[in-house]
């Protein structure tokens, strides 16, 4: 090359995001639209250009090859899909039963066995446990769809946190087939005599399943039985002072204890006696003994209750062993905490703490709190359909008045009765007299 003709160099504009394509012929570079313009030496435009490096050339060449092979790759993907389709069809043709879900579903008759997942207490679970429950339901549904003899699958009491999570995570559940997802409780869908509630706490072990029965599984992922719960409570720090709403730590239940979520509680005159000093109790204390709630978790050895059971706490326990419990004349269990009240659990400790201080229990119940812990002998299981805001009165006021008429006065059919005072207890006496068959009931109270 002579000195009169300077060597040419390949240059592209700086900052251009679209690189020109590399042609097959070396030395001739073209852009996708027009040839690269080579400005005259010494011009202002030349100062804005930079040479293309060897690495950039390789990159541009690969990009061009990738574009050219796009149709080829598409064709290969199409061929793979067709091959998989042929393989599936061949597998179905060669197998009498097959493993394909749709083929299996058409080939066999479904089982008459009914399986129910009860989700009536998903509000007791943390959100992370609700998500785990959702995944378990998805897996059960998928496995049942693939089964040779799929059961009749029910999901009852569907709502609350679970439904919200299923809507957020994947709304595909609304198109699920061969499953009944109902908002009603299972007791409204199946006859009571056909129900069998499965629980690991039961001492009875099933050797075989009755296809005429409906088996219920509690849809509760319980990771709380060993955890402390923080909740609100009305704490009495000392007598003749107002209640104080505090955050209280509730310890997990120990052996033979039950932790209950209090849904409804009444206020009894006995609670006021503690406030005024008429009933001596140790302070600080959480009062309340007339309530109803739902079992949140159980301690080791508890077999009579499970999470989700509706219950009423008892301020007079029933140990079933002492003379009073074994006698037919009374039920004042010797293990009660009414007389010389210690305000503690049977092991001599408390399950409540607030601001680092131990808080005492009130006659084995303490219901002015969102969660309480009681001994299993101080709990009565009630019907799953019972309205808790009404049956909570059975814990004290109603049973006191009703029992006064039926057990103490022993009202006989045809009797004439007079009831003085028509408060909660007095009205319960009236109901007791009517249930006993009194022909005339005179209720006396101030207007």
Catalytic residues: 268, 270, 273, 289, 396
DSSP letter string, 40-73: PTT-TTGGGEEEPPHHHHHHHHHHHHHHHTHHHH
Q: Which residues pair with 50 in a beta bridge?
A: 12
User: Do residues 76 and 70 touch, judged by C-beta distance below 8 A?
Assistant: no
Residues in CB range of 339: below 8 A, 6 or more apart = none
* Helix (H/G/I), strand (E/B), else coil: 408: helix
Comparing CA positions, the residue from 193, 389, 412 lying closest to residue 310 is 389
Which DSSP letter does residue 30 get?
Answer: B
Long-range contacts: 272-279, Cβ < 8 Å, 24+? 274/236, 274/239, 274/362, 275/236, 275/239, 275/240, 276/239, 276/240, 277/239, 277/240
Identify the helix (H) or strand (E) that includes residue 420.
Answer: strand 416-420
> How far is Cα 96 from Cα 76, in angstroms, rounded to an integer?
32
> How far is Cα 236 from Cα 88, in angstroms, rounded to an integer?
72
């Amino acid at each position: 090359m002579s000195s009169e003709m300077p060597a040419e160099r390949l240059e592209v504009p700086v900052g251009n995001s679209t690189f020109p394509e590399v042609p097959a012929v070396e030395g001739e570079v073209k852009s996708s639209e027009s040839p690269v313009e080579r400005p005259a030496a010494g011009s202002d435009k030349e100062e804005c250009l930079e040479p293309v490096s060897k690495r950039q050339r390789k990159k541009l060449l690969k990009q061009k090859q990738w574009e050219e092979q796009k149709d080829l790759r598409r064709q290969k993907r199409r061929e793979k899909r067709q091959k998989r389709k042929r393989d599936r069809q061949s597998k179905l043709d060669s197998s009498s039963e097959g493993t394909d879900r749709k083929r299996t579903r058409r080939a066999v008759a479904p089982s008459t066995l009914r399986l129910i997942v009860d989700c009536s207490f998903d509000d007791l679970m943390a959100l992370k446990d609700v998500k785990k429950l959702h995944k378990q339901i998805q897996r059960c549904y998928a496995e049942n769809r693939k089964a040779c003899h799929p059961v009749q699958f029910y999901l009852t009491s569907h709502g609350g946190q679970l439904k919200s999570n299923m809507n957020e995570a994947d709304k595909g559940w609304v198109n699920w087939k061969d499953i009944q997802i109902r908002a009603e409780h299972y007791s409204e869908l199946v006859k009571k005599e056909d129900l069998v509630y499965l629980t690991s706490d039961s001492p009875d072990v099933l050797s075989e399943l009755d296809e005429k029965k409906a088996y219920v599984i509690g849809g509760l992922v319980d990771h709380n039985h060993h955890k402390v719960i923080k909740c609100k409570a009305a704490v009495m720090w000392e007598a003749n002072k107002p209640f104080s709403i505090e955050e209280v730590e509730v310890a997990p239940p120990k052996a033979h204890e039950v932790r209950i979520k209090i849904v409804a509680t009444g206020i009894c005159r006995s609670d006021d006696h503690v406030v005024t000093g008429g009933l001596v109790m140790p302070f600080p204390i959480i009062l309340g003994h007339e309530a109803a709630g739902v079992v949140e978790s159980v301690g080791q050895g508890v077999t009579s209750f499970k999470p989700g059971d509706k219950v009423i706490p008892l301020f007079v326990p029933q140990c079933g062993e002492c003379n009073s419990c074994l006698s037919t004349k009374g039920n004042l269990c010797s293990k009660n905490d009414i007389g010389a009240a210690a305000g503690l659990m049977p092991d001599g400790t408390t399950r409540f703490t607030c601001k680092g201080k131990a808080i005492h229990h009130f006659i084995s119940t303490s219901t002015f709190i969102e969660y309480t812990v009681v001994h299993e002998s101080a709990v009565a299981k009630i019907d799953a359909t019972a309205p808790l805001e009404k049956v909570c009165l059975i814990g004290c006021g109603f049973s006191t008045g009703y029992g006064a008429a039926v057990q103490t006065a022993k009202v006989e059919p045809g009797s004439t009765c007079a009831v003085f005072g028509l408060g909660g207890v007095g009205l319960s006496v009236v109901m007791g007299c009517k249930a006993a068959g009194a022909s005339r009931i005179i209720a006396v109270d101030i207007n």
